[in-house]
Chains A and B, each alone.
Chain A
């Protein structure tokens, strides 16, 4: 597809005898809001790990901004604007919240001097609502704050794409709204957001397009209404929450 920011073609990944993913095709347009749903074990995280460089796919290609990044190490992908957050937050313990943000700034931005960096870090912290926790050690953050830190770190790298891997798992309704608002604001600045989630109402509210995975392959694709009405998706999600 021309003009697509991220193109995944024919990607598959096996772990020994278990085929976790594939083959999968995916296109992401600049500034798009894409949701990825699917039951546990359907290959969502495997797909994300292949795209972000933590797994090497057994076959297929991944093209980002016109470049073939299939064999690129993860850090290189982060540097050209492909950011991801982790399902279970992985803060840099032993460093303050502020220092946590400095890391992606040091390693992802090309031409900022120290003063600009510090200022921008402050801005990112403001935008996620962590400004007050700036100098606190990462060990002291609550679950919600840790998730915000995950997102803040990904934002500090000035991404073109942010892949949010279950960023809202385990949060309360108010907290979910909080994070969603954040992601919406981010998307308004032109960043494409890929949301992997189990929380249906959040995905359906947020996404322009939704993909449903099951045992490693895409079984449905469309806008949120189409997906909710799809008989394949309903079969796969028997019992899962589908409010709103």
Chain B
């Protein structure tokens, strides 16, 4: 009976965590999954979003609301960031992978250090009433600090999916990933579309940051452990799929949770990484990805 208890709780935690991871990875699903830009700075931006939410929380603002509000300036930040990225390599006709990766890596470091300078290295958290209590369903206890953020993910995924498949701009984003020339021949500037997509991805980082900080305290370098996870989720889901991100996140969340319960918590960061490698080795197009 104890084992069943353990398993059920591990599964519940896994689904919650996985859902939150999916939210973290959602912005990357756009930049890397659709646009193929390896934005390794994404987790750092999520943490920046989390800190923004912490700051506004000090004035009593609810974190989820704050996340949505902060999404607007983060959208603008994303646009600026993309402009810098594309202009840096435009003059040379496109940089190579080393240069792009280095640029994003450097950017993530600057974000992290900026946070250290602004907030110090102590852990910060948010104050919300529901943190600390749990929902009890039989043998399973689901802390609200996991449940609420976890519920944000399917909502965000659904809205994003709707946007990308039903609106004109959303379709343009999908199109530009497939055939840039065709898009420009149709009278749309591909650069504008990509910039907009990058902005959305960064806005999502702010929302993801809000979710993350509800689950627990953060420090400026908290993004690092998530790099492996978010890339693993995007790869496992498959390039270009948005709903798949949620499924992949949950799979990884459950895997990690089971490892944490039955082996040791310290192996958890390695789980996502192992899944990433296995996916690349066995099914590189991911579970739901389009063969490109």
Contact = CB atoms under 8 A, between A and B. Distances in A.
Contacts of B291: 15-16
A5 B290 CA distance: 38
Interface string B96-112: 00000000000000000
A15 B292 CA distance: 8
A15 B291 CA distance: 7
A13 to B, nearest CB: 13
A22 B290 CA distance: 22
A16 B291 CA distance: 6
Nearest to B290: A16
Contacts of A15: 291
Interface string A220-244: 0000000000000000000000000
Interface residues of A, number: 2
Contacts of A16: 290-291
A100 B291 CA distance: 34
Nearest to A17: B291
A216 B290 CA distance: 22
A136 to B, nearest CB: 20
A16 B239 CA distance: 14
A15 B290 CA distance: 11
Nearest to B291: A16
A80 B290 CA distance: 36
A41 to B, nearest CB: 14
Interface string A79-106: 0000000000000000000000000000
A238 B290 CA distance: 34
Interface in A1-34: 15-16
Interface in A26-72: none
A51 to B, nearest CB: 22
Nearest to B285: A16
Contacts of B290: 16
A16 B289 CA distance: 11
A16 B290 CA distance: 8
Interface in B258-292: 290-291
Interface in A156-207: none
A146 to B, nearest CB: 15
A232 B291 CA distance: 33
Interface in B26-74: none
Nearest to A15: B291
B177 to A, nearest CB: 16
A147 B290 CA distance: 35
A46 to B, nearest CB: 15
Interface of A: 15-16
3 contacts: A15-B291, A16-B290, A16-B291
